[in-house]
Structure 1
Amino acid sequence: MFDFVRRHTRILQFILLLLIVPSFVVFGIQGYDQFSEGRDSVARVDGQDISRSEWDNAHRNQIERMRAQMPGIDVKMLDTPEVRQRVLEQLVDERVIFAAARDLHLTPTEQRLERLFKTDAQFESLRNPDGSVRKELLAAQGMSSAMFAQRLSQDIAMSQVTSAIALSAFAPETVARAAVDAFYQRREVRVVRFDAREQLGKVQVTDADLQAYYDDAANARRFQSPESVTMEYLVLDLPSVERSISIAEDDLRKYYSENASRYEQAQERRARHILIKAEAGSPADAKAAARRKAEALLAEVKKSPASFAEVAKKNSEDPGSAPNGGDLDWFPRGAMVKPFEDTVFVMKKGEISGIVETDFGFHIIELTDLRGGERRSFESVRAEIEAEVRKSLAQKRYAEAAEQFSNLVEQEDTLEPVAAQLKLTLRRVERFTRDYRPAAQAEGAAVLANPKLAELAFLPDNLAGKHNSQATDIGGNQMVAVRVLAHQPSRRQPLADVRDAVRATVQQDKAAKAARTEGEARLAKWKAAAPPLAELPAAQTISRARSQDLPRPIVDAVLKASVDTLPAWIGVDLGQDGHAVVMIEKVQAADAADTGPIAQVRQQYAAMWAQAETEAYRAALRKRYKSEITAKAKAAEEPAGAASK
């Protein structure tokens, strides 16, 4: 079975590659035909159930992948009803595509798989020079050759179901241009805004309004206080390990002696030179002539050293330094080409070198000054050495300290003795929530904002037990342990506590409604009898590419509006911001600057058409294989995480 995989061995990178293919986003290693028939079904495809546990696992796997790709991502952005619903939709699509691949007999042959691996550029990084793959990589993923062969074969089969549709999209120039012109069409408009802010001072809010808003079930979640805890916590990190380390004076001096060269100030030299150009690759006779000229100038400056600068001004062929008498200013090691540097850094002050040949030609060098090279005293670098040694020892001892920290946290009933023994700071935080956001300058802000700390604090066992949690690695050489002292479940806040917020919301709602009423009345009036243009704002030309800073709802409404008769009048609800009335005066063709070259237009149009056809084909497959999301799938609309509790 798939002898190529047994003969060779290629895998970890290949597996990583497959993980980005949609057909493997959810399922893992098990074959697609081994669908479980969970009693708690959330969807059904081709007579097979998708269970809630599969859905939860798929959602959890997606979160972990995103965490790995973007370590700083806020997990709560991924644990939402919308994301969960998309995961379920994807599960259904994958099962549908698998069923289609099976019925269409698209399973590739072993010969095709082998040819694909050997010739496809995407696998180049996975192939050894002899065509084999590292065997240990397959074992590292816990996969046998047969499992891998099945997975690869299924992936290729599934990709063929929709690839033929996507690759068949064709975009004739005239059709593509017409479609894109329509999409980027421009419209000249006059926009009148009815701002809710202007109504705020005019609306009245009564106590009855506040009570009605507070009692409305639709607003209940707005008044829920978040679940929170009061807790103590300890952090073990490299700085805390450093503080526990004592270093003998003799050890510091020994380190200073062993690394003496590090405490020497870099020596710099100042020189001037005369260059006679003879670049690498120059003809032999040209080089010989250049050398003879350099030797003549060398004899001249040797005879009269004081004339070096003047001779350099007149004869040096280095345009950068010749006007300054050949002066090169101060330079350290590494700033000059090696033959030049090797000569300068062994010369004495005032000495003139012999002929020095480099890739630039022939040089005559005079060392005019030198500085640096002194060693800093031990006393001046003692603090620097101690910090460096302490940090190095802390990195070596951190693993041992982390093990000790874990053991003590587990053995003790509270965190106080752990803090005392390891000389750690025991901190306390009130009203710590799952999405706690401390001030950037607050003590321990980075730890408190770490999502792993929230996960630890709100584990059911830690909430109920009032004992030390397990020591947990939160990344960045940091271990943390918490002890929950009090747990405050989420509760509905009394109206008295949220009265100001309710008043502001009700006032804003009333102001928006008043602005909308005024806008709708003005629209009806202007439709009946258009006002003089002088009474309206100046015209603006907008398109999907150029919104002129207008709110997106206005742009979308303008571009969707019927323009069979001009001018056309429309009203646009701006929600809490108010209302807008728009007069559409003219319709103009797309600007070529927005659409781009025709080749680009055709490519974009073909891609959009391919996507549309693929979606349509996928929808048809869903019908063919009788896929449905059952009533239980509506659990995705529950508060994030409810389904997994």
Structure 2
Amino acid sequence: MLFLLIIPSFMLFGIEGYTRFNDSAGKVAVVNGKPITQAEWDNAHRLESDRLRATNPTLDVALLDSPSLKRATLERLVRERVLAAAAADEHLMATDARLAADLERDPTISGLRRADGTLDMDRYRQLLAAQGLTPEGFEANVRHEISSRQVLEGVINTSFASQAQVDVGMNAFLERREASIARFAPAEFAARINPTDADLQAFYQANLGRYQAPEAATVEYLLLDLDSVKKSVNVSEQDLRTYYDQNAATLGTPEQRRASHILIAAPKDAPAADREKAKAAATALLAQLRQAPATFADVARKSSQDDVSAPSGGDLGSFQRAKGVDPVISQAAFALAKVGDLSDVVESPFGYHIVQVTGIQPAAVPPFEQVRAKLEDQFRTQAAQKQFSDMAEEFRNGVYEQSDSLKPMADKLKLTVHRVENVTRSPAQGATGPLANPKFLSALFAPDSVSKHRNTEATDLGGNQLASGRIVSHSPAHARPLAEVKNEVRAAFIQQRGAEMARQQGQDRLKAWTAQPASATGLGAPLTLSREEAQGQPAALVEAVLRADPTKLPAFVGVDLGGDGYAIARVDKVLPRAEQTPDLVKQIRARYEQLWGVAEARSYYDMLKARYKAEILVPNALPTTTAAAQPAAGAASR
């Protein structure tokens, strides 16, 4: 049937028609006549989501799929294509020197340099390979980014604003005004509002979005970690006894010895005759000491050529075997049987030594019963580390092959099936283990897992931890019943109706006071307001005060504060901007020039978008700017 349907279609339309159809269907934007496809958009957003998750592990996973973030990714793609087209047309390129300088500023890459300043290429390749990149591909991307940046850098870095422009703009921005304010708060009208059940039902239906119960699920999960593997390790008494015997030396305090030495110096690169002479001197001293071992300290002070130990009679202090002293001396000291014994003449790179043991502290090994618990934990840990990789492979295969239940794998590996209710897509506050891991939750709420209640694939949580889970029951996001939220609905209704009454009274007062200024009563004490010092007043009110016509003062302005009610301000006079120090004036000018450069770059980018016919073809799901907010945005850009 498919053959009969498809072949005539190719005969009528041809392969090229199908190609054009597929390109058109997957096209989300166009720049310079070249499409950006849905697949490119999805891939770019996936990479951006991965980057955000890596830098902020606690980020709400649902936020990454929000329309605003997806739209931002698409706009960034369009911007990159526009700037790349402009860079190509303007023949902007990144030289090797510019590339090297840019990479040098990257702290991650600069941290790979050796002590001599050269780059450790092996670590550099490993770093890039972990991100699926090669050095050639990565450096090509960086060159591309540098070329694109140059398009706007030329505008930003050459922007200039005269002092007159700075004064006009900043004087207006930093201007202060004196105003008296009257507030009409919703709470003042709450006592007059007594909603009926019908009122609450209508309000509830009109605002169902406020009373949504989030998506939640009852889940089961298995966690395979080192602790769970340790629990499955069988330990017999004989195993522990054998382990104790093999590790007795590490369980207590190792043997320590105190020794003194006499050195007759003869560096290893000294002539053979000199070394023989030094050896003969050491042999003569040893013969003398064997006759009177108790005189060792006196002989060392007189004859030893070790300037450090000779003043203290050759004393080297206490040390463990092969630790703290030259290995030759350590070996000689531990070869002696008892305190006071003398070694033969021993040779080292420094010359010839005579060693005397002056103290022995035997090794102290605790009895088996005293360290049994510690031994068992060590034994289990070592055995678990050997078993974990094999069990991890079995875990991965098992939860996939028996995807309708976790119990078979739990029984096989002696793991516990954990059951938790009200699990959401984002980690709950205070969550631990797999349910605190966004990657695991993302797999748990994948469409296949939600609809078919299948086990997730084993998720690597790091630190020798693997987890798999399944959804037992799923509750999609839904409106909570009115009976459950009636108190919330009532409070919100009273708040909204109070705000409406406050707004109406405020508008009536504004109209009356504007007609008869002398009738204005209830205004607060005069305040000095500016954009830098709002005196605790709402930003919209401060903006309205500063926008009042300065040629018609005193003047009344009213501002709808939404849920906070209404406010009226009587603007009495304009005050000049406060005096500023020379340093502050300099900072203000630098800030103005920076903003001016950004504005010019934005304007230049808009021109490039028009030149290269950049167009986003998918509708914008974000709310549009309201008409009331547009004048403020225009003023800010000016």
Instruction: Pick the TM interval, shorter chain.
Output: 0.5 to 0.7
**Pick aligned residue for 2:209 from 197, 203, 221:** 221
Per-residue Cα deviation, 1:475-503 (whole angstroms, up to 9, x for no partner) = 45432211222233344555445444333
SS at structure 2 position matched to 1:420 = helix
1:192 equivalent in structure 2: 182
> CA 1:162–1:115 in structure 2 vs 1: closer, same or farther (change >3 Å)?
closer
SS at structure 2 position matched to 1:57 = helix
1:434 equivalent in structure 2: 425
**Pick aligned residue for 2:86 from 100, 107, 116:** 100
1:115, 1:457 → 2: CA distance?
Answer: 46
Per-residue Cα deviation, 1:529-564 (whole angstroms, up to 9, x for no partner) = 335898422233233332323333333433344433
Matched AA of 1:90: R
How do residues 214-293 of structure 1 correspond to structure 2 at under 5 angstroms? 214-216=204-206, 219-245=207-233, 249-250=240-241, 251=243, 257-261=249-253
1:186, 1:344 → 2: CA distance?
Answer: 80
How do residues 555-574 of structure 1 correspond to structure 2 at under 5 angstroms? 555-574=542-561
1:381, 1:189 → 2: CA distance?
Answer: 80
Moved more, 582-591 or 251-260: 251-260
In 2, are the aligned partners of 1:181 and 1:595 still within 8 Å (CA)?
A: no
**Pick aligned residue for 1:511 from 470, 493, 498:** 498
> CA 1:345–1:431 in structure 2 vs 1: closer, same or farther (change >3 Å)?
same
1:623 equivalent in alignment to 2:610:
yes
Matched AA of 1:47: G
2:146 equivalent in structure 1: 156
List runs of 5+ in structure 2 lacking aligned partners: 1-21, 257-310, 319-362, 625-638
> CA 1:615–1:259 in structure 2 vs 1: closer, same or farther (change >3 Å)?
farther
> What is the Cα deviation at residue 462 of structure 1?
1.8
2:14 equivalent in structure 1: none
Matched AA of 2:449: N
How do residues 84-95 of structure 1 correspond to structure 2 at under 5 angstroms? 84-95=70-81
2:405 equivalent in structure 1: 414
1:117 equivalent in alignment to 2:130:
no
SS at structure 2 position matched to 1:189 = strand
> CA 1:570–1:390 in structure 2 vs 1: closer, same or farther (change >3 Å)?
farther
How do residues 559-598 of structure 1 correspond to structure 2 at under 5 angstroms? 559-592=546-579, 597-598=584-585
> CA 1:449–1:209 in structure 2 vs 1: closer, same or farther (change >3 Å)?
farther
List runs of 5+ in structure 1 lacking aligned partners: 1-35, 265-338, 347-373, 639-645
Per-residue Cα deviation, 1:73-100 (whole angstroms, up to 9, x for no partner) = 2233333222222222222222111121
**Pick aligned residue for 1:46 from 8, 28, 32:** 32
2:103, 2:452 → 1: CA distance?
Answer: 57
Alignment RMSD: 4.1
In 2, are the aligned partners of 1:45 and 1:92 still within 8 Å (CA)?
A: yes
In 1, are the aligned partners of 2:215 and 2:475 still within 8 Å (CA)?
A: yes
1:70, 1:426 → 2: CA distance?
Answer: 29
**Pick aligned residue for 2:197 from 199, 207, 215:** 207
SS at structure 2 position matched to 1:633 = coil
1:260, 1:415 → 2: CA distance?
Answer: 44
Per-residue Cα deviation, 1:539-597 (whole angstroms, up to 9, x for no partner) = 33233332323333333433344433323322222211222222233333333569952
1:187, 1:143 → 2: CA distance?
Answer: 58
In 2, are the aligned partners of 1:180 and 1:595 still within 8 Å (CA)?
A: no
1:119, 1:59 → 2: CA distance?
Answer: 25
In 2, are the aligned partners of 1:225 and 1:490 still within 8 Å (CA)?
A: yes
> CA 1:420–1:101 in structure 2 vs 1: closer, same or farther (change >3 Å)?
same
> CA 1:506–1:206 in structure 2 vs 1: closer, same or farther (change >3 Å)?
same
2:9 equivalent in structure 1: none
1:166, 1:198 → 2: CA distance?
Answer: 52
In 1, are the aligned partners of 2:61 and 2:425 still within 8 Å (CA)?
A: no
2:244, 2:546 → 1: CA distance?
Answer: 74
1:496, 1:397 → 2: CA distance?
Answer: 55
1:604, 1:428 → 2: CA distance?
Answer: 56
1:522 equivalent in alignment to 2:512:
no
In 1, are the aligned partners of 2:61 and 2:442 still within 8 Å (CA)?
A: no
> CA 1:37–1:147 in structure 2 vs 1: closer, same or farther (change >3 Å)?
farther
> CA 1:446–1:599 in structure 2 vs 1: closer, same or farther (change >3 Å)?
farther
1:434, 1:191 → 2: CA distance?
Answer: 46
In 2, are the aligned partners of 1:81 and 1:637 still within 8 Å (CA)?
A: no
2:85, 2:166 → 1: CA distance?
Answer: 34
SS at structure 1 position matched to 2:546 = helix
1:116, 1:429 → 2: CA distance?
Answer: 52
Matched AA of 2:83: I
In 1, are the aligned partners of 2:220 and 2:471 still within 8 Å (CA)?
A: yes
1:381, 1:171 → 2: CA distance?
Answer: 79
Matched AA of 2:250: E
SS at structure 2 position matched to 1:634 = coil
Moved more, 180-189 or 246-255: 246-255
In 1, are the aligned partners of 2:559 and 2:567 still within 8 Å (CA)?
A: yes
1:508, 1:622 → 2: CA distance?
Answer: 46
1:381, 1:544 → 2: CA distance?
Answer: 71
SS at structure 1 position matched to 2:405 = coil
Per-residue Cα deviation, 1:282-338 (whole angstroms, up to 9, x for no partner) = xxxxxxxxxxxxxxxxxxxxxxxxxxxxxxxxxxxxxxxxxxxxxxxxxxxxxxxxx
In 2, are the aligned partners of 1:177 and 1:598 still within 8 Å (CA)?
A: no
Q: Percent identity between the aligned chains?
A: 37
2:336 equivalent in structure 1: none
SS at structure 2 position matched to 1:487 = strand
Highest CA radius of gyration, 1 or 2? 2
SS at structure 2 position matched to 1:584 = strand
In 2, are the aligned partners of 1:232 and 1:429 still within 8 Å (CA)?
A: yes
Matched AA of 1:206: T
> CA 1:547–1:191 in structure 2 vs 1: closer, same or farther (change >3 Å)?
same
1:641 equivalent in structure 2: none
Per-residue Cα deviation, 1:336-369 (whole angstroms, up to 9, x for no partner) = xxx99x99999xxxxxxxxxxxxxxxxxxxxxxx
2:160, 2:562 → 1: CA distance?
Answer: 41
1:238, 1:396 → 2: CA distance?
Answer: 10
> What is the Cα deviation at residue 521 of structure 1?
1.8
> CA 1:78–1:569 in structure 2 vs 1: closer, same or farther (change >3 Å)?
farther
In 2, are the aligned partners of 1:547 and 1:555 still within 8 Å (CA)?
A: yes
Q: How many residues align?
A: 492
SS at structure 2 position matched to 1:200 = helix
Per-residue Cα deviation, 1:252-273 (whole angstroms, up to 9, x for no partner) = 68657415359x9xxxxxxxxx
Per-residue Cα deviation, 1:178-226 (whole angstroms, up to 9, x for no partner) = 433432333333232222123222213223323333444xx34345443
Matched AA of 1:204: N
1:200, 1:252 → 2: CA distance?
Answer: 78
State the 4+ residue runs in structure 1 displaced beyond 6 angstroms.
130-133, 342-346, 374-382
**Pick aligned residue for 2:47 from 61, 72, 76:** 61
> CA 1:166–1:561 in structure 2 vs 1: closer, same or farther (change >3 Å)?
same
2:120, 2:317 → 1: CA distance?
Answer: 51
2:155 equivalent in structure 1: 165
2:599 equivalent in structure 1: 612
What's the TM-score once normalised by structure 1's chain length?
A: 0.66
> What is the Cα deviation at residue 617 of structure 1?
0.3
In 1, are the aligned partners of 2:183 and 2:566 still within 8 Å (CA)?
A: yes
> What is the Cα deviation at residue 64 of structure 1?
1.0
Matched AA of 1:422: L
> CA 1:206–1:588 in structure 2 vs 1: closer, same or farther (change >3 Å)?
same
1:423, 1:429 → 2: CA distance?
Answer: 19
2:98, 2:614 → 1: CA distance?
Answer: 35
In 1, are the aligned partners of 2:248 and 2:365 still within 8 Å (CA)?
A: no
2:91, 2:554 → 1: CA distance?
Answer: 58
